[in-house]
Amino acid sequence: MSILENKVAVVSGAGSGIGRAIAITYAQEGAKVVVADINEEHANETANLIKQNGGEAFAIKADSSKADENKKLVDFAVEKYGRLDIACNNAGVGGPAKPTAAYEPEEWDKVIALNLSGVFYACKYQLEQMEKNGGGSIINIASIHGQVAAPNSPAYTASKHAVVGLTKNIAAEYATKNIRCNAVGPGYIETPLLTANLDEAGLKAVAAKSPMNRLGTVQEIADLVAFLSSDKSSFTTGSYWISDGGYTIV
């Protein structure tokens, strides 16, 4: 039996990259998936890929930085499938590459709005529904930069550190309500965004930052997220799972 059989899941930022891989893996493991992305075309592409492989999915356009859009997403999942068992809050943005003093307030605000406030909004409405369900599992996608610095990305680093802290707080508050909350910290992963912005030499340089001397794959992150979303990790909450090829150990 698949590890997410008969579960209902939502995934934000699921139109491409890690989010798409998570949505597809959820479906392969038996979940009904609500695919959310600010790019409606990309969300539909992910949902269609799931359907073409025999899975069940529905796409919806959502801006994860806005509270009402996060509520709408939860409401839609419940209207469509009757409940919400799993949520993966994956949507995020890197922001401009500048040292801290050079950051403009509006640039800071944009990153924090999506990467931190958006995760809080998502968790708020997901938790409300999961309490009604009698339980659930939330996975927040942080980053290795939830633990170590990313020079010239102060807003990104601050937001991802904060997501780890928020995850731990939620885990402590809701542990007796059968709701688990964990964070995943991907390292350098081979995604369209990364390959579009780096040439071959740049990709090799990034890969060499980890002892494994390679980039991670979106499937490696998706498999970890699926495990944390399932009952196979039923005694695991408040954890921060780094998947980085060893980047942060040296």
73 occurs within a structural domain? yes
Structural domain harbouring 147 = 8-249
CA distance to 107, 109, 149, 150, 165, per residue, from 100 (Å): 11, 13, 12, 11, 21
- Look at the chain and report how many structural domains it folds into: 1
CA–CA dist 154, 96 (Å, integer)? 10
pLDDT in tens, 53-109: 999 999 999 999 999 999 999 999 999 999 999 999 999 999 999 999 999 999 999
Query: Could you give the count of Cα atoms lying within 13 Å of 109 in the half-sphere of its Cβ?
Result: 4
Judged by DSSP in three states, 75 sits in helix
CA–CA dist 86, 136 (Å, integer)? 6
If phi over 0 gives left and psi between -120 and 50 gives alpha, with beta otherwise, what is residue 152? left
Judged by DSSP in three states, 138 sits in strand
Q: CATH no. for residue 40?
A: 3.40.50.720
49 occurs within a structural domain? yes
CA distance to 16, 187, 206, per residue, from 197 (Å): 15, 16, 12
Q: Is the pTM of this model over 0.95?
A: yes
* 119: its two tokens: 């995760």
pLDDT in tens, 166-196: 999 999 999 999 999 999 999 999 998 788 8
Query: What residue has token string 């498999």?
Result: 223
Q: Is 156 a catalytic residue?
A: yes
> What pLDDT score does 217 carry?
98
> What pLDDT score does 198 carry?
87
CA distance to 42, 79, 179, 222, 235, per residue, from 10 (Å): 15, 13, 15, 14, 22
- Integer distance in angstroms from the first to the last C-alpha of the chain? 39
Is the dihedral angle over the CA atoms 77, 78, 82, 85 positive or is it negative? positive
83 occurs within a structural domain? yes
67 occurs within a structural domain? yes
The phi, psi pair for 138, rounded to 5°, reads: -115, 135
1 occurs within a structural domain? no
56 occurs within a structural domain? yes
235 occurs within a structural domain? yes
How many CB atoms within 10 Å of residue 124?
14
Query: What residue has token string 């995850």?
Result: 167
Return contacts of 52-58, CB within 8 angstroms, 24+ apart: 53/24, 53/27, 53/28, 55/24, 55/27, 55/28, 56/27, 56/32, 57/23, 57/27, 57/32, 57/33, 58/33, 58/34
Which of 156, 174, 188, 247 is catalytic? The answer is: 156
2 occurs within a structural domain? no
> What pLDDT score does 194 carry?
86
